[in-house]
Amino acid sequence: MGQLVKDKVILVTGSTTGIGECTARRIVAEGGKVMIHGRSAGRAAALVEELGEAAAFSLGDLQDPAVAPHLVESTVERFGRLDALVNNAAFLARSNLDNAAVELFDRQVAVNMRAPLLLSQAAVAQFRKQGGGGHILNVGSVNALGGERNLLIYSMTKGGLMTMTRNLSAYLASEGIRVNQVNAGWTLTENEKRIKVEDGSEEGWWENISPEHAPSGRIFTPEEAAAHIVFWLSDQAGPVNGSVFEIEQWPLVGQNASK
C-alpha cells in the first residue's frame, strides 16, 4: 500500500468503531500517525495495540465541551503536532416530528454539531501555532440533503455540519487550511447491522437488499468510506477546499423515483 498520508498526524473522533475505526487503520497503513478517540477504554487500547507506535488514544464524551480541546492537546502531547482533524463521531437515533424530544435534540446537536465546531476551533489554534496549513475533514451523511422520515434531528445536524464545512472553508482558505466533507451513504457498519435488527429486520438483512436501495447489489463497507476519507486528507487531493463529496450509488439530485 502507498503512503498517502506519510508522517501526517491525524486526530479521528469516534474511531473505535465503524468508519472511524477503519479510517484509523487506513491512516496507519498509509504512513500516518493517528490519535484514536472513543468512550471505551478496552476498544481503544486494543486498536492501539494492533496499530503500534503510530497510534495512541484519548477518551471522552463529546457531550462535554471540555473534551474537544483536550483531544487536540492530547494529540500534540503524544505526537508533537497536528496536521489534520477528522470530525467523524456522531450520535444517531431515530426521531420524527411527532416524537422529537428536547433531550434527544440537545444530545444530537451537542455531539454532531457543537463538538465538531469546538474541535475545529482547537485544531485551527494548533495549526496557527505551527505556522498555518492543516486540514479539517468532516464526515457527514447523505441525510444532510433532506433525510429519512425517521431521522429528523440527525438529518438536521448533518445539514448544519455541511453548512459549517462550507463556511469554515471560506474563512480559513487564506491561511492554507482546507475544510472538506464526505457525506457517507448507506454503510454496513456493525452499528447499522444492529440498528436494523432492532428495527425489525432479520439477521443477515444486508445480504438481500433491493436494487432500489443498492443498485450495485450491496451497500458500502466502512473500509470503502475510509479510503475516500484518507484520500481527501492526502496531498494528492491538491488544494481542493469547501467541497462536499457524496459517497453514494446514484445521483442524489435530479433522479426520478422508480414507479
User: 161 by DSSP, 3-state: which?
Assistant: helix
Give Cβ neighbours of residue 77 (< 8 Å, ≥ 6 apart). none
Q: How far is CA 184 from the centre of its chain?
A: 9
* Stretch (H or E) spanning 42: helix 41-51
Task: Report CA-CA distances (Å) from 77 to 64, 73, 99.
Answer: 21, 6, 44
Q: What pairs with residue 134 in β-bridges?
A: 177
Q: Which residues are catalytic?
A: 154
List alpha helices for 83-217, DSSP H: 102-109, 115-129, 152-172, 190-198
Q: Going along 78-237, which residue ranges are E strands?
A: 84-87, 134-141, 177-184
Q: What does residue 55 show for φ and ψ, rounded to 5 degrees?
A: -130, 150
* Stretch (H or E) spanning 57: strand 55-59
DSSP 8-class letter at 155:
H
Buried-state track 175-195, b at ≥16 Cβ within 10 A, e below 16: eebbbbbbbbbbbbbeebeee
